[in-house]
Amino acid sequence: MARITAGIASSHVPLLGVAADTGKDRDAYFGPIFEGYDWTRAWIAQSENKPDVVILVYNDHASAFDMKIIPTFAIGCGERYKPADEGWGPRRVPDVEGHPDLAWHIAQSLILDEFDMTIINEMDVDHGLTVPLTMMYGAPEAWPAKVIPLAVNVVTYPPPSGNRCWALGEAIARAVKSFDGEDLNVHIWGTGGMSHQLQGPRAGLINAEWDNMFLDGLVGASQKLRSIPHIEYLRETGSEGIEMVMWLIMRGALGRETKALHRHYHVPCSNTAIGHIVLEPVDDRVPPSATIEGNDAAAQAAI
């Protein structure tokens, strides 16, 4: 059986990877950012908190996917993934090892639950996925957890709604609970954000007040974040702030109520506001599947 024991959210600014890879992570500019992750690095190293598998929700930034194919939700079911060459050579970080048993189980469960996932067996993973690993684990020889990449389109409009992301998180929670393989401590991480705009004359927009409202909304039993429309993210947090819908997949998967173990917010990193929060489920119940297949005992037995 498998259990989701924690949710982590983090920005995934590529410059953080550069800073870590070139030994600048404790300098005057980056030090205050990385210090906000020290608590998490110590916490996640303790055996009771160490995940066997991380479901890592991120977006690809024109690396594995170009404009030829744009999956809204895609799940990596492969054995391993290499760091992508994003135009300046791949990051010298370990390959990312997948967990095909759990990934395929989740993929099948989600499809029966009427989330029509794209399945990926081979791809390279870019900074959206490797920077959060660096922030949580530093620079180990091998990543201490297996990773199930879950890629979300937040580049070409429309991205999925916040509500749909939250509901996908709930479906992931149902899928993980019904895994009948090895005992697994599973984390779900939501990445990207917080406020930033990388384009046009309005570039550089930061909205600390809104970002902190969003961080507040992840904690407790409130579901108000799921109904925030895209236009509000765009107006309030900049055109790339829309990445925060990915955090709602993480939040939805934690169930009815959460508590915050750690929280960090810093401006700026490059063009971006850095946000980071570690959440634990207080009440991890999620609604039952609304689908015919999902409620059908024979269908469940087949997955």
Partner 1 sequence: MTDPRDIHAYLGAFDDIPGTRVYTAARARQGYHLNQFAMSLMKAENRARWLADERAYLNEWPLTPEQRDAVLARDYNRLLDLGGNIYFLSKLFSTDGLSFVQAVSTMTGMSVEDYKAMMDAGGRSPEGMRSIKGKY
Contact call for residue 69 and partner 1 (CB under 8 A)? no
Contact call for residue 227 and partner 1 (CB under 8 A)? yes
Closest CA to 158 of 230, 237, 250: 230
Dist. CA 267–CA 272, nearest whole Å: 7
What are the CA-CA distances from residue 122 to residues 78, 98, 149, 161, 162 (Å)? 6, 11, 11, 27, 28
Pick the closer one to partner 1 by CB: 38 or 85: 85
Residue span binding partner 1 (CB under 8 A) among the ranges 46-54, 56-64, 276-284, 295-303: 56-64
Dist. CA 172–CA 167, nearest whole Å: 9
Q: How far is the CB of 254 from partner 1 (least distance, A)?
A: 18
Dist. CA 102–CA 90, nearest whole Å: 27
Q: How far is the CB of 189 from partner 1 (least distance, A)?
A: 21
β-partners of residue 280 are 259
CA 287 to chain centre: 21
Segment 81 to 140, residues that bind partner 1, using CB under 8 A:
85-88
With CB under 8 A as the contact rule, the residue among 77, 205, 244, 274 that binds partner 1 is 205
Contact call for residue 203 and partner 1 (CB under 8 A)? yes
Pick the closer one to partner 1 by CB: 146 or 226: 226
With CB under 8 A as the contact rule, the residue among 22, 28, 47, 66 that binds partner 1 is 66
Pick the closer one to partner 1 by CB: 51 or 162: 162
Residue 20 contacts residue 83 (beta carbons within 8 Å):
no
Pick the closer one to partner 1 by CB: 85 or 283: 85
Contact call for residue 266 and partner 1 (CB under 8 A)? no
Residue 88 contacts residue 150 (beta carbons within 8 Å):
no
Pick the closer one to partner 1 by CB: 99 or 226: 226
Is 99 marked active-site?
A: no
With CB under 8 A as the contact rule, the residue among 108, 178, 212, 239 that binds partner 1 is 239
Contact call for residue 300 and partner 1 (CB under 8 A)? no
* φ/ψ of residue 69, rounded to 5: -135, 125
β-partners of residue 301 are none
Give the residue ranges of DSSP H helices in 24-161.
31-35, 38-45, 100-112, 127-137
Which residues, other chains included, contact 281 with Cβ-Cβ below 8 Å and sequence gap of 6+?
4, 5, 6, 7, 254, 255, 257, 258
Residue 5 contacts residue 255 (beta carbons within 8 Å):
no
With CB under 8 A as the contact rule, the residue among 198, 221, 290, 292 that binds partner 1 is 198
* φ/ψ of residue 127, rounded to 5: -60, -25
Segment 32 to 51, residues that bind partner 1, using CB under 8 A:
none
Dist. CA 69–CA 75, nearest whole Å: 14
Binding residues for partner 1, rule CB under 8 A, total 48
With CB under 8 A as the contact rule, the residue among 53, 165, 171, 273 that binds partner 1 is 273
Contact call for residue 289 and partner 1 (CB under 8 A)? no
Contact call for residue 210 and partner 1 (CB under 8 A)? yes
Maximum C-alpha span of the chain: 59
Pick the closer one to partner 1 by CB: 5 or 197: 197
Is 276 marked active-site?
A: no
Please report, as ranges, the residues that interact with partner 1 according to CB under 8 A: 14-15, 61-63, 66-68, 85-88, 155-158, 161, 163-164, 195, 197-208, 210, 226-227, 229-231, 234-236, 239-240, 267-268, 270-271, 273
